[in-house]
């Protein structure tokens, strides 16, 4: 006897049992009706809607994707920075091991990437200090002791960073930094050109609260003198101010930007950024904190600079800070009887900005480093 069908076409039903009533066989079945098929139908519908939403999202992202080379580079840089905060510590340690500039029995010198904090803090998921034990094992074997920080760089600063293999050596290097025996050279791209082209900025720095719509704290200048009716007048010193001295030299310039070499004699927080922005009126490209004292907002750039960079002002917030720890010169230490000069090539985004702004890279620096070769290697 053929199995009965439910109202839904194409669905065949089988009998579960039979019983005899009044001499006739009556089929007792549990049919698959349309209501039973509803969950599957709804599932397929949700899946189709989800696929359509994903397709639309991909289409929107494609439309919003940066088109110019620099916009693509900034987009990649932002994505890379975010990924550095999300990767497994082993992956980050591996990336740092590839950027080792020098290592000996006392020191390990790395190339610090952009956007990677040195220490932990609020909102920091991963930092350099977290992966020092892993990095030591990758470089020196599973029995190696964790590496030790000798100094620090800001999260947005790239370049030379010194680590020590033993705590005692780390303390010795830290003392060299504290007593200003380590020569440091930074390279920065500035908005506008410092006048004069070489000199020394010797203005104390202190931290102050900025009153406004969004109250925040910034480092700022605390000069010992001010102008009063055209006369130079000495003011009362701020007890919270720190002595800050920066030597600078313009390496290359155009009408609206410059490549500047900076040698901080002291090591105050954000010293280079404050001296350039508030002391010389030439903020560092991508310095969204110190380009304007009164507010926290993306750096305002001239139409000419934006055109060269291939950016709109609305996208300027993605510009990274163009400050690079170019060179450290360490005096003799331990078994090493000679000074150690450590040079780190520029990150790729920095080189690209130099090219777009028509700033010339020195073919060789004072130590004979072939910078042109580094450019080709990029």
**DSSP SS3 for 40:** helix
- H-run or E-run covering 308: helix 303-309
Q: Are strands 323-330 and 158-164 parallel, antiparallel or unpaired?
A: parallel
Closest among 341, 367, 370, 337 to 162, alpha carbons compared: 341
- CA angle at 347 for the pair 172 and 175, rounded to the nearest 5°: 10
Q: Which are the contacts of 308, defined by CB distance < 8 A and separation ≥ 6?
A: 356, 357, 358
357: exposed, middle or buried (C-beta count within 10 Å: 0-12, 13-18, 19+)? buried
What's 12's DSSP letter? Answer: B
**DSSP SS3 for 333:** strand
For 236, the token pair is 């009362």
Catalytic-labelled residue, pool 104, 106, 154, 365: 154
Q: Which are the contacts of 327, defined by CB distance < 8 A and separation ≥ 6?
A: 160, 183, 184, 185, 341, 342, 343, 344, 365, 367
What's 353's DSSP letter? Answer: H
**DSSP SS3 for 251:** strand
Closest among 86, 89, 87 to 146, alpha carbons compared: 89
What Å distances lie between residue 304 and 73, 310, 352, 353, CA to CA? 20, 10, 17, 14
Around Cβ 156, how many Cβ atoms within 10 Å?
20
Q: Is the dihedral of CA 272, 278, 282, 284 positive or negative?
A: positive
Q: HSE, CB side, 13 Å, CA atoms: give it for residue 10.
A: 2
Q: Is 228 a catalytic residue?
A: no
What Å distances lie between residue 214 and 147, 217, 278, 315, CA to CA? 39, 10, 20, 22
- Active site amino acids: 154
């Amino acid at each position: 006897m053929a199995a009965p069908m439910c109202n839904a076409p194409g669905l065949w039903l089988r009998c579960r049992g039979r019983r005899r009533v009044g001499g006739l066989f009556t089929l007792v079945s549990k049919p698959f009706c349309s209501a039973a098929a509803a969950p599957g139908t709804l599932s397929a519908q949700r899946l189709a809607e989800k696929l359509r939403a994903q397709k639309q999202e991909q289409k929107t992202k494609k439309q919003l994707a940066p088109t110019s080379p620099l916009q693509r580079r900034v987009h990649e840089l932002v994505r890379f920075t975010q990924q550095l905060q999300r990767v497994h510590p082993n992956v980050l340690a591996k990336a740092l091991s590839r950027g080792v500039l020098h290592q000996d029995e006392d020191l390990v010198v790395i190339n610090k990437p952009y956007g990677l904090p040195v220490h932990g803090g609020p909102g920091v998921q991963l930092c350099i200090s977290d992966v020092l034990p892993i990095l030591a094992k990758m470089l020196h074997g599973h029995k190696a002791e964790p590496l030790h920080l000798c100094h620090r760089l800001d999260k947005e600063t790239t370049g030379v960073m010194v680590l020590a293999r033993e705590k005692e050596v780390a303390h010795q290097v830290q003392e060299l930094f504290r007593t200003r025996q380590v020569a440091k050279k930074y390279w920065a791209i500035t908005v506008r050109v410092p006048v004069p082209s070489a000199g020394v900025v010797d203005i104390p720095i202190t931290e102050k609260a900025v009153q406004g719509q969004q109250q925040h704290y910034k480092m700022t200048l605390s000069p010992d003198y001010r102008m009063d009716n055209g006369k130079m007048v000495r003011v009362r010193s701020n007890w919270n101010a720190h002595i800050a001295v920066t030597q600078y030299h313009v390496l290359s310039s155009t009408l609206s930007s410059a490549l500047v070499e900076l040698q901080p004699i002291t090591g105050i927080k954000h010293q280079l950024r404050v001296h350039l922005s508030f002391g010389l009126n030439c903020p560092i490209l991508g310095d969204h904190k110190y380009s304007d004292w009164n507010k926290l907002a993306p750096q305002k750039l001239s139409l000419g600079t934006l055109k060269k960079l291939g950016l709109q002002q609305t996208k300027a917030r993605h510009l990274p800070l163009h400050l690079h720890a170019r060179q450290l010169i360490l005096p003799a230490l331990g078994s090493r009887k000679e000074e150690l000069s450590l040079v780190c090539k520029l990150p790729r985004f920095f080189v690209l900005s130099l090219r777009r702004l028509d700033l010339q890279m020195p073919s060789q620096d004072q130590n004979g480093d072939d910078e042109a070769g580094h450019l080709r290697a990029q």
